[in-house]
Amino acid sequence: MTSELSAGCYLCDYHVHTDLSFDGRGTLSDFCLAAIDHGIKELGFSEHVGIDASDDAYGTLDYERYRRGIESVRERYAGKLIVKMGVEVDFRSGVIAGIEHYIQTHEFDYVIGAVHYLEGDILLRTAIFEERPQREVWDDYFNEMFLMAQTGLFDIIAHLDVPKRGYVPLYGPFDWTLYEDAIGKVLAEAITRDTALEINTAGLRKQADEIFPSLGVLKLYHQLGGKLVTFGSDAHSPGKVGCDFGAALEAADAAGLTEVSTYSGRKRTTVPIRI
């Protein structure tokens, strides 16, 4: 599927997890081969890092092994694929100093910030919506996202409305307009700090049944002056690299977003999506 898109688009998948992450399968090389197969120009790895000790990702990433692995695949696939070394850091407002320290003491091409937990509860499952009023969960979540954006520590904000994974199976489609003010605050903060917004296709494979974030949120981002976006499959196995990028590109088009942000050593370059 992505191979047809690759002729006219600068395809970058900046959100994938290999077996270097606690929940990924397949090696760096397996993912590179899949990306080349799909005509992807840049593949960015985003292995999980958790700073809070209760986090599933806590202490699981071997940074040196990751760095050596990246060097090796860069050499092996030179001329065929641009490989970026990123990271997806779990944001929790209680451990901002620890997050800042980690980011300052490790080199990456880009750093993605993601909220996966609220006070220790994982946001990706239905359980959190079974235990707490939905309004409260979403309000707390968007507040945590706002605090994350406010730190300015991240290059990219991951899957902005990811709790849809747990919400949609219980309540049906998520009406983001009910949270427009809270979402607008997160977006405005990201725009002020030049933090990019990720268009993440994993929602199409999970029970959310739509991309993260919803198309309306992408349109709002554009209306507020947002221009910086990245694309991510959130693949946890090589077979999902570039998955549903056709839908992601359509969403970008529909929202008026025409450029993709790329990163090297945490410096951003924007490239037209359509080439």
Residue closer to Zn ion by CB (options 222, 240) is 240
DSSP state of 146: H
Q: Report in angstroms how near the CB of residue 157 gets to Zn ion at its nearest.
A: 11
| Site of tokens 């985003």 | 46
Q: Report in angstroms how near the CB of residue 90 gets to Zn ion at its nearest.
A: 8
Q: Report in angstroms how near the CB of residue 258 gets to Zn ion at its nearest.
A: 25
Q: Among the candidate windows 30-38, 111-119, 143-151, 206-214, which touches Zn ion by CB under 5 A? A: 111-119
Count of residues that interact with Zn ion, criterion CB under 5 A: 4
Please give the structure tokens belonging to residue 236.
């946890």
* Pairing mode of beta strands 229-232, 196-200: parallel
Please give the structure tokens belonging to residue 57.
């990702």
Residue 202 in the binding site for Zn ion (CB under 5 A): no
Q: Among the candidate windows 72-80, 154-162, 214-222, 247-255, which touches Zn ion by CB under 5 A? A: 154-162
Q: Can you tell me the distance from the alpha carbon of 200 to that of 234, in angstroms, rounded to the nearest whole number?
A: 7
Q: Report in angstroms how near the CB of residue 116 gets to Zn ion at its nearest.
A: 6
Q: Report in angstroms how near the CB of residue 176 gets to Zn ion at its nearest.
A: 18
Residue closer to Zn ion by CB (options 140, 234) is 234
Residue 155 in the binding site for Zn ion (CB under 5 A): no
Omega of the bond prior to 169 within 30 degrees of 0, cis?
no
Task: Identify the bridge partners of residue 110 per DSSP, sorted by sequence position.
Answer: 86
| Site of tokens 């990433």 | 61
Quote the longest CA-to-CA distance of the chain. Answer: 52
Residue 234 in the binding site for Zn ion (CB under 5 A): yes
Q: Can you tell me the distance from the alpha carbon of 139 to that of 178, in angstroms, rounded to the nearest whole number?
A: 10
Can you tell me which of 114, 115, 229, 235 binds Zn ion, judged by CB under 5 A?
114
Residue closer to Zn ion by CB (options 233, 261) is 233
Provide the phi-psi class of 209: left if phi over 0, else alpha when psi is between -120 and 50, else beta. Answer: left
Q: Can you tell me the distance from the alpha carbon of 80 to that of 137, in angstroms, rounded to the nearest whole number?
A: 44
Q: Among the candidate windows 98-106, 140-148, 151-159, 206-214, which touches Zn ion by CB under 5 A? A: 151-159
Residues 82-101 that bind Zn ion (CB under 5 A): 88
Task: Identify the bridge partners of residue 49 per DSSP, sorted by sequence position.
Answer: 89
Which chain residues interact with Zn ion by CB under 5 A?
88, 114, 158, 234
